């Protein structure tokens, strides 16, 4: 096996824009493209290989054929042939809905799905752009419902102004929203379970209000104010900097100004590299692939080495 690029799965969204094309050269055809799913095994949206001998095979086919080689033995033992990570780039031209994701137990019970723990890395933000992350005070379920009914939910939300490089860990139960004018690299559990609780009374292209999941969300929400979301991490050059280490993924930040090599084989896991700035050539010592801002490469678990040729690149490294 060799380092793999996948064809992006592009998603139109009411709040989407054109930056995935203008900044990352994605082949979008509309001016409301909100998401590029880079590595996905979500049913109905399974990534397809874009390079090499496996070209046009799906990620799921490769996992079924080579589970230990692609995933790593310990990942396969834990998840079977279910790929556990979903990787996206998100362009929010307008605010996303305020939403929440259920934890594993609730998602399993209701949807036979993983929960949806995720992290966001801000790649670009317009001046003054903000995220909503959690509440600005502890609230009761009854207080929350009152604000929801009266259309004043935003009064109790916590707003965070953001700039490039800011990173947020969104655990399940935390009410959140990406604000307009922000491009995000998103790493999450493989799940598409979202409970939309407030959508600013917007209408879709057919003039309909979008579905809300008010009752489903009540049991999923953590109503406490918690300052546990902003990730502080080192940005030391030409080394690996840990950002997030949770049961569902481990993410490191690499800022490289020169050629770089790292042994990854002993970790017994696939590694995903998201280019969040700059460009370079990545290789396992045999197969070389170019990688530019807004592109993603998956190194199967059997790849022993990451080699990078660059004069300037920033990567997020994701593994289990």
Q: Which residues are annotated as a binding site for Zn(2+)?
A: 101, 118, 176
Cα atoms in the Cβ-side hemisphere of radius 13 Å centred on 219 = 10
**CA–CA separation, 272 and 39 (whole Å):** 9
Residue 79 three-state SS: helix
Find the DSSP H helices in 66-201. 67-71, 73-79, 104-111, 141-150
Annotated binding-site ranges? 101, 118, 176
**Is 210 among the catalytic positions?**
no
Catalytically annotated residue among 110, 196, 202, 210: 196
**CA–CA separation, 184 and 110 (whole Å):** 28
**CA–CA separation, 291 and 293 (whole Å):** 7
**CA–CA separation, 214 and 196 (whole Å):** 7
> Within 10 A of 80 (CB to CB), how many other CB atoms are there?
12
For the annotated catalytic residues, the residue numbers are 196
């Amino acid at each position: 096996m060799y380092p793999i690029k996948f064809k992006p799965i592009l998603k139109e969204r009411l709040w989407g824009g054109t930056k995935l094309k203008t900044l990352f050269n994605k082949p979008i055809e509309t001016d409301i493209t909100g998401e590029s799913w880079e590595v996905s095994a979500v049913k109905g949206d399974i990534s397809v290989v874009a390079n090499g001998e496996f070209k046009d095979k799906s990620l799921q086919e490769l996992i079924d054929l080579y589970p230990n080689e692609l995933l790593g033995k310990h990942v396969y033992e834990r998840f079977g042939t279910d790929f556990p990570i979903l990787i996206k780039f998100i362009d929010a031209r307008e605010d996303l809905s305020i939403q929440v994701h259920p934890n594993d137990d609730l998602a399993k019970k209701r949807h036979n799905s993983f929960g949806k723990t995720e992290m966001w890395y801000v790649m670009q933000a317009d001046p003054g752009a903000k995220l909503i992350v959690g509440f600005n005070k502890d609230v009761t379920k009854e207080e929350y419902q009152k604000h929801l009914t009266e259309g004043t939910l935003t009064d109790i939300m916590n707003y965070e102004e953001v700039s490039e490089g800011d990173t947020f860990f969104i655990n399940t139960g935390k009410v959140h929203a990406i604000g307009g004018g922000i491009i995000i690299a998103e790493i999450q559990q493989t799940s598409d379970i979202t409970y939309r609780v407030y959508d600013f009374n917007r209408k879709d292209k057919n003039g309909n209000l979008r579905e809300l999941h008010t009752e489903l969300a009540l049991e999923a929400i953590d109503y406490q104010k918690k300052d546990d979301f902003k990730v502080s991490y080192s940005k030391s050059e030409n080394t690996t900097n840990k950002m997030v280490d949770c049961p569902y993924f481990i993410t490191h930040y690499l800022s490289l100004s020169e050629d770089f090599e790292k042994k990854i084989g002993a970790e017994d896991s696939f590694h995903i590299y998201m280019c969040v700035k700059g460009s370079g050539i990545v290789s396992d010592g045999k197969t070389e692939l170019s990688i530019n801002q807004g592109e993603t490469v998956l190194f199967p678990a059997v790849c022993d080495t990451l080699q990078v040729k660059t004069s300037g690149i920033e990567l997020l490294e994701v593994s289990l």
